[in-house]
Chains A and B, each alone.
Chain A
Amino acid sequence: MSDARLRRVQKEIKDCAKDKTSQISIEMIDESPFHLIGAFPGPPDTPYEGGYYEVDIKIPDAYPFQPVKMKFITKVYHPNISSASGAICLDILKDAWSPVLTLKSTLISLQSLLCDPVPNDPQDAEVAKHYLADRESFNATARHWAQAYAQAPTHKSKAALGGQATDAEMAGLTEDNVASFTDMGFPRPQVIAILKRLNYRGNNVNPASYNSVLEELLK
């Protein structure tokens, strides 16, 4: 019943506003209580720490018997979140949804998804490849994205990276690798796109070889 849906959503918004400990906020965009924006801080001890993530929430007509529709507004570098659209691959937003779940508990699940990526069931295949191939470099890129898009403070310990991340770092690549191809005269955006797609992690490192990159570039 639709009235029950309205009551429940009102209740959930109110509960979230009352709860100060969870740090999760839900706000209305306009007069409709069925289109909301949820927000939560990036979980500590992850590359997303210090960032502030906003999520677009749409409540379907059959809520709570149908899952809420959520996607990230803030750009996130994460295997289960599309880096382009913010679409989320999470079971409880699909077939594992249960009517006992609430907006708050779902947002908490998203927060914990940031803690524990599931690269075997990826939404963004390139990010997942990066995550599996080189965890450290993945973490660095995720941190760059958090700083660039989620207002995470720049880490002082990583002063070597400088204040502003380069386009290579934002794509999860090292400057050296990009330079080795741009020096040959290939345009930089193309090099970055192909290296990202092929998940290039340096010469003689699996999974993409130097030659396969050259082949792609010469196409």
Chain B
Amino acid sequence: MDMSSHPLLAVLDEPPPFPEKYPQLRRLDRSVVCQICKEPFTAPVSIACGHSFCSHCIRSSLDVSKKCPSCNENCSEGSIRRNRALEEITDAWDESRPTLIELTRHVPTSATTRKRPAPEPNSKASSSSGPSKRVKANANANGSRSGSQSRSASPSKPRSKDSREEEEVEEDDEDEVQELTENDEAPCPLCQATMPISSIPLHIEKGCPPPKTTKKVNGVVGKGNQKSDWKKVFSGQGLSAGKGKEVEMKRITKPNYALATPADLRATLAEYSLPTTGDKLTLTARLQEWIILFNANLDTSHPSSLSALRAKLTEAENSRKRDKERGKDEMVHQLGTKEGLEKYAKDKKGEFERLKKEIMERDKRRAGAGTAEGSGSGTGKENAIEVE
């Protein structure tokens, strides 16, 4: 059986892999993949032993076993730290991957041109000339970025060589950008409003008000905030009501699930506008998943909105339910077809016969009881059987 043609596998939308003759690119491709979900990192974090995973993955894993999945070293959730550099690298790699794939595809044509002696020594010379190589690569990379048609127009050997360097250079560029953001203005990761980087934490703490208010947070507008807060208090809303509307973007501390009552769990879930239906097990599972989703969402510079997170949570819950009821669905589906129905009838023939016999016997006995009307104990027994 050809597994790749299976309908279940066909839905998998994987980006095309690099050809086998580029082991270095394949390695790079593998190195930005989380070892738990086997997908490119989303919100990468590092733990005490230095291994990195997606925030969501390692949080789920640590819920099950407090060990590093890679090296088995003891590890707690407290040691999770955002890995900003890795996130940047993953993003940059994700962005440059299609370009690189494109470039590797053009190489077969360059392989034929390679036979011509002229470009070969040229590229050799440039690569052996030490520091100047970097400069040249840089220039080429910039050139190719500004005019993409030049890349496809001349797919020759030196270009393909530079492509690898371009990738390297690009990463360098990204580093530069990161350095700049350190003391410059940057968009808020939540509302995308631009402001000085130092004021972002405070801004987030306040629940992302429009940037004007954050800029004058110590000034007059601060008083204004106070005023509106008091207004809320007097109008009976209370401060916490305002907060509940705009959920605090702070890590949720895990409750002690063994000690928490269903009411506690429901209260916490309600705080994040989540469904509060189900028994304690369902509530616990929901809150656990939510805390993982929510805390993982704080480990990325492209966080999803809370409503998107809620949608994710419901989806996960539904798919888990689907898995549980998959067998049932299949059976129902099977009964829809004629053969399935026949097979089911055949399988359950014994049971059917038994039921038939039971009912016939009961009818017989009832008829007997009908003739011997008046014997109280007899009808009592009959009733008992009927209830059964």
Contact = CB atoms under 8 A, between A and B. Distances in A.
A1 interface: yes
Interface string B60-104: 110111010110100000000000000000000000000000000
A33 B323 contact: no
Interface in A1-46: 1-4, 6-8, 10-14, 16-18, 26-28, 31-34
Contacts of B315: 3
Interface in A38-96: 61-62, 64-66, 96
Nearest to B54: A4
In the complex, which of the residues A8, A14, A99 has the most CB atoms of chain B within 10 Å of its own CB atom? A99
Contacts of A31: 8
Given A13-B3, A61-B320, A100 B35 contact: yes
Contacts of A11: 12, 14, 38
B39 interface: yes
Contact of B319 (A3, A16, A64, A99): A3
Given A2-B323, A14-B3, A65 B12 contact: no
B274 to A, nearest CB: 16
Interface of B: 1-4, 6, 8-9, 11-12, 14, 35-39, 56-57, 60-61, 63-65, 67, 69-70, 72, 289, 312, 315-316, 319-320, 322-324, 326
A51 to B, nearest CB: 21
A98 interface: yes
Contacts of A65: 60-61, 63-65
Given A10-B8, A14-B14, A100-B35, 19 more contacts: A1-B312, A1-B316, A2-B319, A3-B316, A4-B37, A7-B37, A10-B12, A11-B38, A13-B3, A13-B9, A27-B3, A28-B3, A28-B6, A28-B8, A33-B8, A65-B65, A98-B67, A99-B35, A99-B36
CB-based closest 9 A-B pairs: A2-B319, A17-B3, A100-B35, A1-B316, A65-B64, A98-B69, A100-B69, A10-B12, A99-B36
Given A7-B39, A8-B38, A27-B3, A14 B72 contact: no
Given A2-B323, A8-B38, A14 B316 contact: no
Contacts of A98: 67, 69-70, 72
B327 to A, nearest CB: 9
28 contacts: A1-B60, A1-B289, A1-B316, A3-B319, A4-B37, A7-B12, A8-B38, A10-B9, A13-B3, A13-B9, A14-B3, A14-B14, A16-B3, A17-B2, A17-B3, A27-B3, A28-B6, A31-B8, A33-B8, A34-B323, A61-B324, A62-B64, A64-B36, A64-B37, A99-B57, A99-B61, A99-B69, A100-B36
